[in-house]
Amino acid sequence: MTTKQEAVVLGFLGNFTGADWPDIDALVACFSLDSVNYVLFPTTKPVVGREKLKEELVRQAKMSQAPLSDIKAYASSGKYVFVERVDSFVTHGIKHTVSMNSVFEVNSDNLISAWREYFDSGDVARQLGMSADDMGKLLQG
């Protein structure tokens, strides 16, 4: 049985179908106004609030195409939803995958109030033919 919190997160991730980037305004509408989000936790600085999250997603959409989230497993405990997935993108013309785990927090209004991504940036850098320093710059914008 899927909880309300899981349904919110799965609905958000379900927008990433491998086609064009989904409507970014619709994506950020899934988040609370004061949400705290990390592109890569704890490496990157937090992206705080809907407007900053929109700016971050627009930035990502400019350099990557065809975002797809393939959910492998998910579970929840109270407001926390844990998701194992493999995302794929085309970044700077190179198709690559990112095996990751994410933790979402969903508030009482059924909005995502926190989103933390955990993945091996070294693996992504290797796929993109980048140095660790260049990968860090890519992640931070």
For residue 68, give the CATH number of its domain. 3.10.450.50
| 5, 79 Cβ separation under 8 angstroms | yes
Strands 47-48 and 80-91: unpaired
In the block, tokens 């320093």 appear at 133
**pLDDT at position 138, please?**
79
And the tokens for 17?
């179908």
Contacts of 85 (CB under 8 A, 6+ apart): 13, 69, 70, 71, 72, 99, 100, 101, 102
Per-residue pLDDT tens digits for 33-44: 999 999 988 888
pLDDT at 86: 97
> In 29-131, where does DSSP find H-type helix?
50-63, 121-128
Domain of residue 16, residue span = 4-140
> Which residues in the chain land under pLDDT 70?
1, 141
Q: How many domains does the chain have?
A: 1
- Pair of tokens at residue 7: 């349904």
Question: Strand, helix or coil at 5?
Answer: helix
pLDDT at 81: 98
